Structure formats: C-alpha cells, structure tokens
Structure 1
Amino acid sequence: MSLKLVFMGSPDFSVPCLKAIVEAGHEVVCVYSQPPRRAGRGKEERKTPVHAAAEALGIEVRTPKSLKSEEELKAFADLNADLAVVVAYGLILPQAVLDAPRLGCINAHASLLPRWRGAAPIQRAIMAGDDVTGVQIMQMEAGLDTGPVMASVEVEVTPCTTAGSLHDALCMAGASLLVDAISQLESGVGVFVPQSTEGIEYAHKLTNEETRIDWSLSANEVRQHIHGLSPFPGAWFEMETPKGPVRVKVLEVADSSGTGNAGEVLDDSLLIACGENAVRLKRLQRAGKSAMSGEDFLRGNDLPEGVILA
C-alpha cells in the first residue's frame, strides 16, 4: 500500500527526492515550493527546480508566501495526507502544519545532526574541515532541526570535495534514504531516536563578508574555505588590471609546499603562499567570464611571480 504524501521543497537538491518518491509508487497529492522569483538579466520570473519538476510529473503545485493564514492551514489540512516530506523548502512550518498529516512531517537534512543544524550544512561541513558528513531523516518539530532521527547515511569529505560535488553526492544518497524511511513508516517499523545534546553546531547562512579569501590562513584552511564556497557563492580575490581591480573567484585548489608572504604568487603556475605552506589555483572564474582551468586563465591574465594578491 502506498502512502498519500505532500512534498515540500524548492532547490535542485530536493528534485531527486521528489522523483524517487514518485518512482517508488507513492501518491504525491500536492507539492509546495517557494514562489517564482525574478532572476537573470531579463528579470523574468523563474519557477523553482522543484516547481518545474512537479509540473512535469503532473502534480499540483502550491507556492504560498506564508503558511500562517487560516486559509492556507485549512487548504493544507484538507489534503488529508498520510505524511509530509520536507526537503529544503525554505518556509517555517506552523505547528498546525506539522500536526496535520497522520504520520506527521519528516525532513531530509544534509548533515549528521546535531552537527550543522540550519541553513548551510553542506558548505559549513567543508569549511570546518569535517572528514565525514551525511543525510539524516528526522521527525520535524518546532525547533530548528531538533527533531528525533530515524535514518542516516554517511558521505566522505576529501581534500578534493567542493560544496558542489558534496551537494550532488548528498542529494542522491538522500533520495534513496528517504524512500527507505517512508517504507519503514508505511510498515510501522520506523523508530525515531532523540538527537544527542552534545556536539551541536549551527550552519549559519553564508554572508558576503566571509567570501573574500584570507591568504594569512594556513593552506589547509584556505583550501577548506575555497572548496566550501565552490561553486556558489565563490571565494574570491582582487586582481589588478590596466582597467582597474577585478574580482576573481577561485573554485578549486590543491595543497602544496611553498614559502612567502601571505598572498604572494610564488611561480608562473599560480602557486600562492599562505600563512603556512601554499596552494595551487586549479580552477578560476574572472567576473563576467566562464570558469576555466589555471592554465587557460594564465593565457589571458597576467599574475607574475612576486605579485601579492589582495
């Protein structure tokens, strides 16, 4: 017997979860997603990736700006869902919404709770130098990612891992985990275990102020910072050009050995001194340009040995 589900999600990360649930044979009676927003040069309204995917699957989509009104609460309750599945939706769910489905609301969260509760768990795990992270399925409650957990999967974080590659690994692992968790709830064998009260960390929203590269950090810390912000929003430095300074995002680096002043270009292959050791810039993106390898970047940009990057 399949369950009658409501799915609530917005970004790319949520799409594999929605598709996996449908492929597993569950009836998704409605999808909730963030409202379309103006974006791009033409400022045309764009639907969220989940909105577009749901429409392609023939599922009703609702995009309220808030769920707090009596009208929205009634509309949600009238769906008579067995379960609501939330994956990076982006709106706070009132208690009346949490209580409406027969089995409540579950959330697929991209960390190993209680570490990295909050908005940016993927980026924060890399920036903090975690060796492992994962996805967990938890029962939602009023607190921020505080609910009990019923299923987990771990994903390794290596020196080559970026936020982009980790995002892709976690969303695919999370989709499979979510289907298994729903099956357990459907069979009545799912068990929720309270989170530990130790090791709580909050994955606060990323700010513009923390995207500039601080070359005075160790090479290891510089790599973690850059990879944690790659590809978006991107860690950056300023490069002087005949037309003035331009911003350059660094998307991928490798640890290396080298000694010099913090931010100093040490050779003709983008080896940059850090507070301790050095990093080699492997993939970059100049403002207004496409991302490119370090070799291609040097063909059109001059960063000679001895220059200090700001």
Structure 2
Amino acid sequence: MRIIFMGTPDFAVPTLEALVAAGHNVVAAYSQPPRPAGRGKKLQPSPVHLAAQAHGIEVRTPVSLKRAEEQAAFAALEADVAVVAAYGLILPQAVLDAPRMGCLNVHGSLLPRWRGAAPVQRAILAGDALTGVTIMQMERGLDTGPMLAKVETPVDGKTAGQLTTELAEKGAALMVGVLADLGAYPQIAQPDEGVTYAHKIDKAESRLDFSRDAGDVERQVRAFAPAPGAFFELEGERYRVLAADVVDRSGDAGVVLDGSLTIACGAGAIQPTLIQRAGRPAMDVAALLRGRAIAAGTMVG
C-alpha cells in the first residue's frame, strides 16, 4: 500500500518501523516540527522524524494542516491510507478525506475510555486494571471514530514509560494485521456509554499530594515516570520520585516517619525506592540517604 505516516513521539516509532518491515510503501512521514531540547536548547527532530530519515522517507513538518497549500500537497501523495499515531495536530476534513481509505489511528486506550491526549497516564491515575490499544477510523471528533480492532493488556504495577512502550509494540503489530486484511475488520461505532477524556497532563499534577490515600500517591509516581517525574520539595529542593511502594504505616500526611524516607499519606504511607535530586542521576533511596540524611519528623510536600 501507499501509506502516509503521521506521528511524533517514541510511541509512534514502532508502527512506522512495522509498516516498513511489512513491505508497505511509506511515501512520506508527517511529524511535529523540531523543538528546542537539552541544555543548549538546540532544535531536535522528533523520534519519528529521525526514524523516517533513517529509512530514506521524506519528512514533512508543517506547523498546521489548515492551509489549502498543505492540504493539496498531502492529497498529491495519492496515498491509499494515512496511518496516524500520536501525531499532535488536528487533521482537517480535507486531509481525512484525501487517502483512498481515509486515516487510521493507533490510539493507546480501549476506546471509548480515555479519548484524548494522555490515555496511558490517565489509565494509571484512575487505577484501571486493564488498558490497551484501539485501531480507529478517524473522523472530525476527538477520537470518536468507528473502531476496527482492539488488544488488551493489564496495567499491573507498570509505569507510564513501561506501559507506553508495551502499547506501542502491540499497536504496531495490530495496525499491520489490520492493513493486511482490511475487509476482515468491520467498523464498529463507539458506544456512548463509558466515554472518558484523557486531558493533557498539567505539570502541576506531578507534585505528590500526600493528603491522598497511599495507593493514589503511588499511582501518581507511576503515571509520571519517567517524565515529568512525580516530585516533592524539601527546603526548596525538588526530589523526583521515580518508584515507590505502598506500606502499612500511618502518621500525619507528608511527614517522614523514619530514617528510610517512609512518608505518611492521608491513609497509609509510601516508601520511595528510586529518587532523583535536581541535576543529578537517579539513585536508590539508600544511596540518597547516605549523602543527604532526612530525619524522621521532617515535613515534605
């Protein structure tokens, strides 16, 4: 098939790689424009941009697809289908209609649950037992289009990083399977019941809220690992908690209970196991405490 690929972050790369490996003709890759990154704030191409270049695929990085010129250039590719995975731009109707078979999306949730920008993080924060990937025919609404295929996976104790990687691989395999025999995957309208929205993560949400149940706090840790990293502050310094266990202890919320950095929550407590100070590499908590003791009775938040 002649395929236009549209994606930006690491989540999208396995799908691009799978399409190439399956022998499809990826005629162009659309991705978000390079963004400043790193200490030098130099412009960095997206992961999809780099992956496409490695395969000799033309990369296009428009700021918007609203202009008639961009839409005409898209249509001129005469694609059979556009495959979309976490692209990050709204597709106008002219773009949705241009490929012969429309646009298919790899979405990281079991639709209609968690439509929107941050389905993996929202599933973890909500304590969902299951999540997965849905292949969807795109339309103008926000992740409202009919579904072609789904695959489930347990959330278990996975971080957002781990779960995103798993879903990316499952979504890539599922998309290749769907394209191999589109006629075997009838379009199923999404039910109205069970719709939820995965709103974009606000960085303020990553501050640990020790007034909540310890289970909720531990889910915050996993939902924001590895980035942006759930954190607390102590004496003006930010500590990113990258992994933590729930423990059966009690005390005033936000108070350190012992010399091992067990922190009381609204109910129960958490025991951070992997932590990172500003400008330093991640380390286990025992290593942190050897260089920076935090006494019982200290308030963090």
TM-score (norm 2): 0.98
Structure 1 residue 195 corresponds to structure 2 residue 190: yes
In the TM superposition, what whole-angstrom CA distance separates every residue of 1:24-83 from its partner, at most 9, and x where no partner exists?
111101110111122212121110000000000011111111111111111111100000
Partner of 2:54: 56
Alignment of 1:1-310 (within 5 A): 3-158=1-156, 160-185=157-182, 188-240=183-235, 245-310=236-301
State the shift of 1:110 in Å.
Answer: 0.3
Q: Which runs of 5+ in 1 are unaligned?
A: none
Measure, in 1, the Cα distance between the counterparts of 2:297 and 2:122: 32
State the shift of 1:208 in Å.
Answer: 2.3
Measure, in 2, the Cα distance between the counterparts of 1:174 and 1:294: 35
Code of the aligned partner of 1:9: G
In the TM superposition, what whole-angstrom CA distance separates every residue of 1:79-118 from its partner, at most 9, and x where no partner exists?
0000000000011101001001111000000001111100
Measure, in 2, the Cα distance between the counterparts of 1:189 and 1:134: 20
Structure 1: 4+ residue segments shifted above 6 A: none
Measure, in 2, the Cα distance between the counterparts of 1:300 and 1:288: 15
Measure, in 1, the Cα distance between the counterparts of 2:210 and 2:185: 48
State the shift of 1:272 in Å.
Answer: 1.1
Counterpart secondary structure, 2:190: coil
State the shift of 1:199 in Å.
Answer: 0.9
Measure, in 2, the Cα distance between the counterparts of 1:223 and 1:231: 14
Code of the aligned partner of 2:177: D
Q: Which stretch shifts more, 289-298 or 103-112?
A: 289-298
Code of the aligned partner of 1:205: K
Counterpart secondary structure, 1:50: helix
Counterpart secondary structure, 1:227: helix
Measure, in 2, the Cα distance between the counterparts of 1:70 and 1:237: 48
Measure, in 2, the Cα distance between the counterparts of 1:301 and 1:184: 59
TM-score (norm 1): 0.95
In the TM superposition, what whole-angstrom CA distance separates every residue of 1:183-210 from its partner, at most 9, and x where no partner exists?
122xx33211001101111100111222
Aligned positions, number: 301
Measure, in 1, the Cα distance between the counterparts of 2:36 and 2:128: 36
Measure, in 2, the Cα distance between the counterparts of 1:208 and 1:30: 33
Measure, in 1, the Cα distance between the counterparts of 2:68 and 2:205: 40
Measure, in 2, the Cα distance between the counterparts of 1:165 and 1:10: 18
Code of the aligned partner of 1:226: V
Measure, in 2, the Cα distance between the counterparts of 1:210 and 1:58: 40
Counterpart secondary structure, 1:251: strand
Q: Which stretch shifts more, 77-86 or 262-271?
A: 262-271
Code of the aligned partner of 1:196: P
Counterpart secondary structure, 2:181: helix
Code of the aligned partner of 1:129: G
Measure, in 2, the Cα distance between the counterparts of 1:277 and 1:115: 29
Measure, in 1, the Cα distance between the counterparts of 2:81 and 2:203: 37
Counterpart secondary structure, 1:247: strand
Measure, in 1, the Cα distance between the counterparts of 2:7 and 2:214: 37
Code of the aligned partner of 1:99: D
Q: Which runs of 5+ in 2 are unaligned?
A: none
Instruction: Quote the RMSD (CA, aligned, Å).
Output: 0.9
